Amino acid sequence: MLTSLHFAGHETQSQMWNHAPDALALEYTQTMMGFVLFHQRPHRLGIIGLGGGSLAKFCYRHLPDARIEVVEINPQVLALREAFLIPQDDARLQVLLGDGADTVAQSRHSLDVLLVDGYDRDGIPARLCSPEFYLHCRRALRKPGLMVANIVAAHPQHDVLIERIRCVFDGILVVHDDDGSNDVVFAWIGELDDQYLADFDRPKHIRAEAWDHLIPAMSRVRLAWRDPR
């Protein structure tokens, strides 16, 4: 059984397997976790867009060293926190009501990883894909820092958004989902350690059953790194 979040029509914003609420049900969220191939143990992790909390829950469970801050602009989404079994705030997790663009603009060199997955019924809000926003994302990271952004392939300015990110960061990697619906963009500052992009054993802090589920997504990231297009 699945619990799903929909903003409009048939588009699915988030899904949760009821028997495994901390797992990642949607392919693009699995791909976004490819950041562990570059940064296995981030200490500070920011997430823009809570949705059903898939990324927040997975990171909370499997990245024990990370302090996670999630910003969600929609109070109706926050009201579903209990329905999606998102843990309560504690020393490692804080979920805040606010505008992610404002939060990032106020941050300076404080995050190791920033996950950008903010959507509403109209798609990506303009404030979360402007040139200024991506510049603020860069400034929010400390070296070697990594931003990971989910961009739907059908976005009318898809190529423009990719180029905006490319112009701001020191390097980017675009990973396409198998079904062609989402592109996940990894963008970094400084020099990233790519030693884990070769095939390697499961990180010890990620449980075996969770890592096995991520293997196809990790393979997509590795393939894109070896053969960027």
Given the residues 22, 112, 117, 177, the one annotated as active site: 117
Query: Mapping DSSP to helix (H, G, I), strand (E, B) and coil, where does residue 217 land?
Result: helix
How many Cα atoms within 13 Å fall on the side-chain side of residue 207? 9
The per-residue DSSP string of 117-145 comes to ---BTTBS-GGGSSHHHHHHHHHHEEEEE
89 counts as catalytic: no
> Model pTM?
0.91
Domain ranges of the chain: 2-226
From the list 185, 215, 186, the residue with the least C-alpha distance to 199 is 215
Digitized pLDDT (tens) for each residue of the chain, 229 residues in all = 655 555 555 455 566 566 666 789 889 999 999 999 998 889 999 999 998 899 999 999 999 999 999 999 999 999 989 988 899 999 999 999 999 999 999 999 999 999 999 988 888 999 999 999 999 999 999 999 999 999 999 899 999 999 999 999 999 999 998 877 899 999 999 888 777 777 667 888 888 888 998 999 999 999 999 876 6
Topology of domain 2-226 in CATH is: Rossmann fold (3.40.50)
From the list 80, 88, 89, the residue with the least C-alpha distance to 52 is 80
